[in-house]
């Protein structure tokens, strides 16, 4: 038993990544500082604001509230993976088309949470969108356009799925 650095390895955006980290290293710091994936933001740092949301093994997760050491072998997806092939994800398109942001700081978390929400509920009402984003704060208070963006993306994603 030691508080020394430990070797952590996980799959991030489809690529095996590893680093030597302290046990107290939060997932968000592993992503940002060890891997240079700075699209995942640190907002409140008290598990409330959702700027740090990523997908961990299919579960929408606040990466400021798990330690990297817990995620040995996990499969993590961050905002950087969404447009990896140069084409924006429909949710990113939605935020663009509906101007679902002002300063943009909360946007990565909003997008990651919204994609997770649509996996469970592909056709949410506006109320369901607001409930689904209860763990994401926008301090510019741009919520109305965020709801519009998610609705826009949901319609696009339903259309794509029905065309498949």
41, 113, 124, 138: which one contacts another protein (CB under 8 A)? 113
Residues that bind another protein (rule: CB under 8 A) add up to a total of 33
Is 124 a residue that touches another protein (CB under 8 A)?
Answer: no
Q: Reduced to 3 states, what is the DSSP secondary structure of residue 6?
A: strand
Gyration radius of the chain over CA positions: 16
CB of 65 to another protein, least distance (A): 5
97, 135, 140, 145: which one contacts another protein (CB under 8 A)? 135
Residues 71 and 8 sit within 8 Å (Cβ to Cβ): yes
What is the DSSP annotation of 18-75? Answer: EEEE-TT-BHHHIIIIIS--TTS--SSSSS-S-TTEEEETTEEEETTSSBGGGGTT-E
Residues 57 and 63 sit within 8 Å (Cβ to Cβ): no
Give the contact letters, 33-72, x = binds to another protein (CB under 8 A), - = no.
------------xxxx-x--x-----xxxx-xxxx-xx-x
- Which residues are near another protein by CB under 8 A? 1-3, 6, 22-24, 26, 29, 45-48, 50, 53, 59-62, 64-67, 69-70, 72, 113, 116-117, 131-132, 134-135
């Amino acid at each position: 038993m030691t508080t020394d650095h430990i070797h952590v390895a996980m799959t991030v955006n489809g690529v095996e990544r590893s680093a030597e980290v302290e046990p107290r290293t939060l997932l968000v710091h592993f992503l940002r500082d060890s891997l240079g994936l700075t699209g995942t933001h640190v907002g409140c740092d008290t598990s409330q604001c959702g700027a740090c949301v990523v997908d961990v093994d299919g579960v929408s997760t606040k990466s400021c509230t798990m330690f990297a050491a817990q995620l040995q072998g996990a499969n993590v997806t961050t905002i950087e993976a969404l447009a990896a092939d140069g084409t924006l994800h429909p949710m990113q398109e939605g935020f663009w088309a509906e101007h679902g942001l002002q300063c943009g700081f909360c946007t990565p978390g909003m997008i990651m949470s919204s994609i997770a929400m649509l996996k469970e509920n592909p056709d949410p009402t506006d109320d369901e969108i607001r409930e689904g984003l209860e763990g994401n704060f926008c301090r510019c208070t741009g919520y109305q356009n965020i709801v519009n963006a998610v609705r826009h993306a949901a319609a696009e994603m339903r259309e794509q799925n029905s065309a498949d």
